[in-house]
Chain A
């Protein structure tokens, strides 16, 4: 599986995603600078990492979506390549309209860095195949603007097609207001596109993918992707 990690100016989880793809997963991985374009056939997985692209002084992700690399990301998404947007990467995917909805500042206007529990709502995606549906996992968040919002219409459609992949929950899997760290509508932590090949999530699976970090719950996001891509190759898709 060939992986790309896009480097926007202000990306800062680029090295972490690179490490997860290359060293943890053992797959060939390249950085793509935001000023570069690439071809849809170059990569199987394109990661939009966390950080503060262009400082996020406007809305998070609002400027990054105009970068040359994003043109290629959009084409790759249309070609069915897997796109994983984490944190700021998720925000960029929303701004680029590859995923529906928008992101607001956290309900309490503070940055939050701590572990949260997530419920896997949909394991029938290329990103979550190795999780059980309804499984509860622990993953860290680190964001100030993760308050996901979509209007009622969009929410209906999103839910109807199984677009909600992760929701914030408590240790026992209850989706409660207290378990919602940022005010996201219906505790949404991660969603997938209609075609199923674009995932955006606020929590950081790359920060909990190794034993030494005391938590490996996020590793299966990357392993699911690898299994899917290798399966697709095997099936000639």
Chain B
């Protein structure tokens, strides 16, 4: 039997141990305790976050599957649906960047095809420390290669994502992988172990000692000793997963498949107890039947191993040979290891002898949830910045160059050119624009995809930052011509036991929930990653929003590139004098703090609707949202993407650095033939959206003058080739030098 000391060593609190004893009516043995320790870890149980996550809107007319399954599903019409989920693999990537990132990708792909869907796209939201740090370069390069090698081998295009660099992520990088699949409504499969007497089969790879206690490792802070946990990091085999994908999709064509679930964190333990808990059944399995890659493994090791590329399949009794036949075609294992029972127990046998017996539901859902203390952190009281003391630089060309060479704004081509983003021949807007767009063969439809979060905004004001993450994701889809449909989120925070961190978490969720409700984009799946901190330093609160949007006619897609000389360039929305949280203030002026830009959801919605209407009517040639770096950077990016110049003028009463580089929200720039201008103005007027002419697409320089009452108060005038070179190569130079 195992006591409290053992429980503590496995990371369980005393009250959790007591709960286990109460549930079992006896002390657990060591195997049982080990299973509880992984299932009741934060990573598997969400015990710290459950009550707060209930604040998200999770339903809607298009939602076919909300949170609680392996992935969320949203209807896109014509009997088709999008399946999506994002998940973190932060801790493994911090100690073993290549395998950590690779297996993160592998895990999220399995979550998608487990639902019966064909995975069609990957996105990755990444955060690292400053690229001046040699270890950060190692982590960054390793993570990018890990993602590339896994996704590329799978033949799933990596079409989008984000990368940010900030010291708060130095020792605890964030690696959030998102996968998107397409499925027909009548092909949706769930992770349920139903039907007494049905067979439980383990398919795919063999089981070894890799990734022991990965879920627990993900649920504690990183420390100097964390490198010793490298054996907790799983090892990926994308070739095996490619075979598993094809075999599973072939298998799932059959009506006699009852349920399927991938083996992710907590391996066989989680997949067996979760499938049983969902169906209200039990499972009896014998570990001796599990195909292994190492000798002398104990039942404990078999039950909690996180060896990759494995699936648990529940099939109607009598169809075991049919399963074997399919998997043999793909040279994969398929072995019956147990049966579905009706007693609600997860019973583990070794050669017929019971070695563990616990209620499946208690393991899967029984972790006592914790309401943590939440308190506004002290640093938030000292964020105010006196803008009047900040002098506006005279050389605005220099400011623009500094912004475009910031790795947070510069082109991410060094990253996405290592990812195969054109395989499957559906990528009609490749990475580098606001959102990626994929066509859906055999239909007129397309889907647009993005991930977004400004962690610095969330640090400065968690509520506004959370709101802004959702609004910006939606805006990025809208400028591509898509109607935003749904969210999958990955909530990355520090140690939730600290009241300040918990406050950030709650407020971010509240902000996200409000925006999601307002913009009709329910949260259909997601993941929470706590304990992202080292040596007392938590990361910026980083609630990454993955969003999908629908284009009924993919031919109506839009990109950010200026297309035609002579086109008029307009701004939807209003400039503001906000500078807090901007890249300009922090990286160019060296001033940390301030309030991030305010977001008025009503204005945001109207700007988005107006932009979408203009695109759907075919009135515009380009659309691009104004985000990091402000209006000047947005215009410069449209020039660089279109390989053309711009000439314009802005009349304002505001500080001109705020007009050019401030990150005021709910703004979109569009270019259009001049003859469409009056119609756009009319539409904007009807939507009560501010519209102003900024200038014209012109060959030659990127040129913009700011005037106050007709008098020139600031000017940018710079050749486009020059800024294109700087923007295009900044990350390469940093990494390779």
Contact = CB atoms under 8 A, between A and B. Distances in A.
Interface of A: 9-13, 15-16, 19-20, 23, 33, 35, 50-52, 54-57, 110-114, 140, 142, 144, 204, 206-207, 210, 212-214
B425 A213 contact: yes
Contacts of A54: 239
B425 A207 contact: yes
Contacts of B238: 52, 55
Contacts of A207: 422-423, 425
Given A9-B239, A10-B239, A52 B425 contact: no
A32 B419 CA distance: 28
Given A113-B422, A212-B428, A9 B149 contact: no
A178 to B, nearest CB: 13
A174 to B, nearest CB: 19
Nearest to A12: B155
B425 A16 contact: yes
B423 A16 contact: yes
Contact of B428 (A12, A110, A213): A213
Contacts of B209: none
Contacts of B145: 110-111
B554 A212 contact: yes
14 contacts: A9-B243, A9-B331, A12-B154, A12-B423, A19-B425, A50-B423, A55-B153, A56-B153, A110-B418, A111-B152, A111-B420, A142-B420, A210-B425, A212-B428
Interface string B436-449: 00010100000000
A84 B387 CA distance: 64
A214 B424 contact: no
Nearest to B446: A212
Given A10-B242, A207-B423, A212-B555, 10 more contacts: A10-B239, A11-B155, A51-B155, A52-B239, A52-B242, A55-B238, A55-B242, A142-B420, A207-B425, A213-B425
- A-B pairs, top 6 by smallest CB distance, nearest first, are A12-B155, A55-B239, A52-B153, A142-B420, A16-B425, A111-B418
B419 A113 contact: yes
A60 B242 CA distance: 16
Contacts of A114: 413, 417
Given A52-B152, A111-B148, A112-B417, A140 B422 contact: yes
B30 interface: no
B330 interface: yes
B293 to A, nearest CB: 16
Q: Which of the listed residues B153, B417, B420, B428 has the most CB atoms from chain A within 10 Å of its own CB?
A: B420
A11 B330 CA distance: 12
Q: Interface of chain A, helix or strand or loop or mixed?
A: mixed
A144 B150 CA distance: 13
Contact of A212 (B152, B155, B413, B439): B439
Contacts of B422: 113, 140, 142, 204, 207
B467 interface: no
A68 to B, nearest CB: 13
Contacts of A9: 239, 242-243, 330-331
A52 B421 CA distance: 15
Interface string B55-99: 000000000000000000000000000000000000000000000
A79 B421 CA distance: 37
A214 B563 CA distance: 14
Contacts of B441: 19, 23
B721 interface: no
Contacts of A110: 145, 418
B552 interface: no
Contacts of A210: 425
B649 interface: no
Contacts of B439: 212
B428 A113 contact: no
B237 interface: yes
Interface string B393-421: 00000000000000000000100111111
Given A112-B417, A212-B439, A13 B155 contact: yes
Nearest to B418: A111
A117 to B, nearest CB: 16
A33 B250 CA distance: 14
B423 A142 contact: yes
Contacts of B239: 9-10, 52, 54-57
B287 to A, nearest CB: 28
B448 to A, nearest CB: 15
Contacts of A19: 425, 441
B149 A111 contact: yes
B242 A12 contact: yes
A175 B243 CA distance: 40
A16 B155 CA distance: 10
Contacts of B420: 111, 113, 142
Contacts of B416: 113
Interface string B115-155: 00000000000000000000000000000010011001111
Contacts of A51: 153, 155
Contacts of B152: 52, 111, 113, 142, 144
A13 B155 CA distance: 7
A55 B237 contact: yes
Contacts of B423: 12-13, 16, 50, 142, 207
A13 B145 CA distance: 21
A55 B424 CA distance: 18
A144 to B, nearest CB: 7
A106 B114 CA distance: 35
A6 to B, nearest CB: 15
A78 to B, nearest CB: 29
A23 B240 CA distance: 30
A12 B152 CA distance: 9
Interface in B537-567: 554-555
Q: Which of the listed residues A12, A33, A56, A140 has the most CB atoms from chain B within 10 Å of its own CB?
A: A12
Nearest to B439: A212
Nearest to B441: A19
A56 to B, nearest CB: 8
B426 to A, nearest CB: 9
A8 to B, nearest CB: 11
